[in-house]
Amino acid sequence: MITPAELAGWTLHNDENVLIVDKPGGVVCHPSKAGPWSSLAGAVREQLGLGASHLVFRLDRETSGLTVFAKTPAMARKLQAAAAARQIAKNYIAVMTGELPEPVTVNQPLGPDESGPVAAKSAVRPKGQAAVTHFVPLASGGGFTLARVFTETGRKHQIRAHAQWLGKPLVGDKIYGPDPRLFLEFLDTGWTPGLEEKLLLPRQALHCSEVDMRAAGLGRVFSSPLPADMRAFCAGRGLPVPDGL
């Protein structure tokens, strides 16, 4: 469960229209059946005394970083329209398995992976929805790459699915990593030494590090530093983290 003190500590910005929260990995965004304080959306609603919390865009449970809430229906409509018009730019940092020697753009459509063991999994499909992801290496070595990632579209699991398609899945990704059956094993057993040996990190190494809302009329760029678990992984593999991350 999320505590009021934790939510206050994660809050980067709070005004009459918008709340920006730096979500840790492992925290669910959308409301769950376990009560309001079991999800970020529910905790925000309770903490602020709102009738509803308007999550402008979500992050996967294991992805860390910036999440944006509109505090009024009018602001929610404005930001959702801005997101649809690509006026809100998001910047991610990822640790990828394999060394990426130069920037690469993946322009491959995504849809449900109907042949895999995990129903929630996306995959590159000829008749899928258009999806474009840009991967820019910041440091490579020892079989890994620290990369900055930009998306032009917002498809389900887009970065993770495109990284897998490249043959460079994100470190720690239970669904798009070495074997999607590891996700099913995790659901049965929880995190084990055997899973750690195969996945290296207990969550996918993906962090939403920047949200630029200037084109949406809010006049701000919000940023979040690389979290400790990803920073420690890079240090242990000799991957230098650039200043400012």
Catalytic residues, by residue number, are 60
Nearest to 220 by CA among 38, 22, 42, 13: 13
What whole-number distance in Å separates Cα of residue 161 and Cα of residue 8? 33
Report the alpha-carbon distance of residue 172 to residue 200 in Å, rounded. Answer: 6
Give the C-alpha separation, 70 to 53, whole Å.
7
β-bridge mates for residue 57, sequence order: 68
End-to-end CA distance of the chain: 29
β-pairing, 104-107 vs 132-141, is antiparallel
Instruction: Identify each DSSP E strand in 110-180 by its residue range.
Output: 110-112, 122-124, 132-141, 144-151
